[in-house]
Structure 1
Amino acid sequence: MIKAVMVMNTQGKPRLAKFFDYLPVEKQQELIRRVFGVLCSRPENVSNFIEAELVRTVALSTTILLLFTLSLYFIVQKMN
C-alpha cells in the first residue's frame, strides 16, 4: 500500500507532497526534511530503496522508493 508520494527539487523544496494516511502538517514537514537529508547524504551508486530506519518515519514497516531525474527527486513511501 502506498502511503505517500513526494516530488522535490535538488534544494529540498517540495513540488508535490500527497499523503494517503492522515499525518499532521508538522509530521509531514518533518518527514520531508528527513527524507531529503537521507537523499543528500547517499552516494550515487547505491540502491533506489531506502529502509524506514534510516528516515525514522512514523511507521517502521515502510520502504522508500527513489527515482532521480533531471533536477527532481520522485519519492514513493510504501508499506511493506
Structure 2
Amino acid sequence: MTKVITTQIGPDGVLELNVPLHKDDANKPVRVTVETLDAETTMDRAAWLRFIEQTAGSITDPTFERHPKGEYEERDPLP
C-alpha cells in the first residue's frame, strides 16, 4: 500500500499528519518520507503555448484510434 499526501507545514514549523488507513493495516509498521516541494510556478501564456505545441500530435501508440464525432441533431435557430 502506498499513499501520497501533499500538505503544508504549519507556521510553527511542525508537520501534523492524520492519515486514515484500513483497519486491516492496524499495528503494522510504516515508513514516512518527508520531502519539501518547491513553490509552484505559474505558466505564462507563451510557456503554455510552447507546451501545447510540443505535445500536440505526440501520441505514438499505433493502436490509438480517434473515433468519429458522430451526427448532431439539427435544431431550430434561436430567435
TM-score computed with the length of structure 1 as normaliser: 0.24
Higher relative helix content: 1
TM-score computed with the length of structure 2 as normaliser: 0.24
Higher relative strand content: 1
- Pair member with larger Rg: 2
- Greater relative contact order (Cα < 8 A, sep 6+): 1
